[in-house]
Amino acid sequence: MTRSEELYRKAGELIPGGVNSPVRAFRSVGMDPRFIKRARGSRIWDVDENEYIDLIGSWGPMIMGHGNMDVLEAVQKAIWDGLSFGAATEKEGEIAELITSSIPSVEMIRMVNSGTEAVMSAIRLARGFTGRDKIIKFQGCYHGHSDSMLVKAGSGAMTQGTPDSAGVPVGVSQDTLTAQYNNLNSLEQLFEANKDNIAAVIVEPVAANMGVVLPEQGFLSGIKALCEKHGALLIFDEVITGFRLAFGGAQEYFGIEADIVTYGKIIGGGMPVGAYGGRKDIMKKVAPLGPVYQAGTLSGNPIAMAAGLAQLKYLRENDWFYGALKDKGDSFFKEVDDILNGKGIAHTLNHISSLGSIFFTDKAVRNYEDAKTSDTDMFASFFRHMLDHGVLMAPSQFEAIFLSGSHGEEELKAVLKAVNSFKQQ
Ligand code: HOZ
């Protein structure tokens, strides 16, 4: 028995499914999970000392690769001053200044502990600001696991085939309406049928939790126009795209400003951090300035702030970073596409910069329904093949491939070689 198997067996007795987040259980790829011991750059090792090229990057945070020295040193320095104070610190002001001075729509920001918490708070804020209850989200977009967002959600919920979770009260889910991604008519119909009741529309500007699905020309600007017309707020969930597509995330990349933006992942440099921010008049509704309550003992935690600040400073100061990452992503995903085309394997490859997904379907993937046409058995066999050839991908069709600054030519060549040796079953 391998050490991973041993640990998984033991964890299964004590932790639901042996994991602390469902998709990590590898269930949809029909195997037991590998337990991870350590990672450096673009490489990751399991407890049996198997080495892989890591295409997960902790589901997004590790945009500079694992073990970046700036981040490690900042964390190491911070721990000696104390791990948590539950009080205001200088670093929280520094990170707020760094972000608000770089991202025009974010005039004020509040730090929390995860993307889920950021979204949950943003939704409450939108309701508190507008005095309306209903929220519109898009099918297949995932915004964390707060009750009101587990309606036709992507990511782990989609992977398990249970998009609507047990335990979500009907009363809560009734206030979440769902439109089709890339379909402005479906959004307009919801606005018309719920006049003056929509507090906000929340969207992943690039959907990355039903696999990667790109917004078509005019989709994001169309959402913004409909929100303005109907007096609803636009929330961009940039937990994945924030500080990834550009320093200013999807807002900068697509040139569209949202009213509220949520962040997570990269903003914490690998530590548990989320944030929500936006226009000052909206953010001033948050307690203690306003009536919308939100709090947290570990919010703005000094170690998490140190890690996040170090990562964000690096990304802002090195303006070549995003161009280089985009060039790398463009050429890598094109080569993957070419290889699969050369083999005659029906697939659709969606990608933007360092994010991408391979869907085993002959349909273009523009929304949740299209994503579900992907042959998930084929994905599972592709995943296992890649793992056997030293490449760790997200163990689900409905997640993304994440490249980082530390994936060099050697690693990407090795991944392409593994793709090249894949044979359709
Ligand atoms: N569903 C999460 C990513 N979209 C999974 C995160 C994790 O398991 O760490």
Q: What is the pLDDT of residues 252-274, one digit of tens each?
A: 999 999 999 999 999 999 999 99
Question: Residue 122 C-alpha to ligand 1 middle, in angstroms?
Answer: 20
Pick the atom of ligand 1 nearest to 19's CA.
8
* Mean local confidence (pLDDT), 139-163: 80
How remote is the CA of residue 271 from the centroid of ligand 1, in Å? 14
Please tell me the distance between residue 23's alpha carbon and the centre of ligand 1 in angstroms. 6
- Higher-confidence residue: 161 or 3? 3
399 lines ligand 1 (CB under 6 A): yes
From 36, 59, 146, mutation site for ligand 1 pocket: most ligand atoms within 8 A of C-beta: 59
Q: Is 209 in the pocket of ligand 1 (CB under 6 A)?
A: yes
User: Which ligand 1 atom lies nearest to the CA of residue 159?
Assistant: 1
> 351 C-alpha vs ligand 1 centroid, how far in Å?
19
The reported pLDDT for the residue numbered 172 is 87
Q: Under a CB-based contact definition with an 8 Å cutoff, are residues 172 and 213 in contact?
A: no
Q: Which pLDDT band holds residue 158 (cuts at 50, 70, 90)?
A: low
**Residue 173: per-residue pLDDT:** 86
Pocket of ligand 1 contains residue 59 by CB under 6 Å? yes
pTM above 0.85, yes or no: yes
Q: What is the pLDDT of residue 163?
A: 53
CB 214 within 8 A of CB 206: yes
Tens digit of each residue's pLDDT (9 = 90 or more) over 43-74: 999 999 999 999 999 999 999 999 999 999 99
Task: Express each pLDDT in 347-383 by its tens digit.
Answer: 999 999 999 999 999 999 999 999 999 999 999 999 9
Q: Is the CB of 156 under 6 A from ligand 1?
A: yes
Determine the atom of ligand 1 nearest the C-alpha atom of 240: 4
Give the per-residue pLDDT at 152: 83
Whether the CB-CB separation of 111 and 97 falls below 8 Å is answered with: no
Question: Mutate which of 155, 160, 238, 265 to test ligand 1's pocket (most atoms within 8 Å of Cβ)?
Answer: 155
Q: Are 190 and 225 contacting, i.e. CB atoms less than 8 angstroms apart?
A: no
- CB distance 21 to ligand 1 below 6 Å: yes
Three-point CA angle 66, 309, 245, nearest 5°: 65
At 319 the pLDDT is 86
State residue 160's pLDDT score.
56
C-alpha of residue 236 to centroid of ligand 1, in Å? 19
pLDDT (0 to 100) of residue 327: 98
Q: Determine which of 78-82, 174-178, 384-388 has the lowest per-residue pLDDT on average.
A: 174-178
Nearest protein Cα to ligand 1, atom 7: 21
Half-sphere exposure of 403 (CA within 13 A, CB side): 27
Centre of ligand 1 to C-alpha 144, Å, is: 9
Q: Nearest C-alpha to atom 4 of ligand 1 is from which residue?
A: 155
* Predicted confidence (pLDDT) at residue 199 exceeds the cutoff of 60: yes
Structural domains of the chain, ranges and CATH numbers in brackets: 3-67+319-420 (3.90.1150.10), 69-317 (3.40.640.10)
The whole-number pLDDT of residue 169 equals 86
Given a cut of 60, is residue 161 above it in pLDDT? Answer: no
Annotated catalytic residues are 142, 237, 265
Answer whether residue 221 shows pLDDT above 60.
yes
pLDDT exceeds 80 at position 164:
no
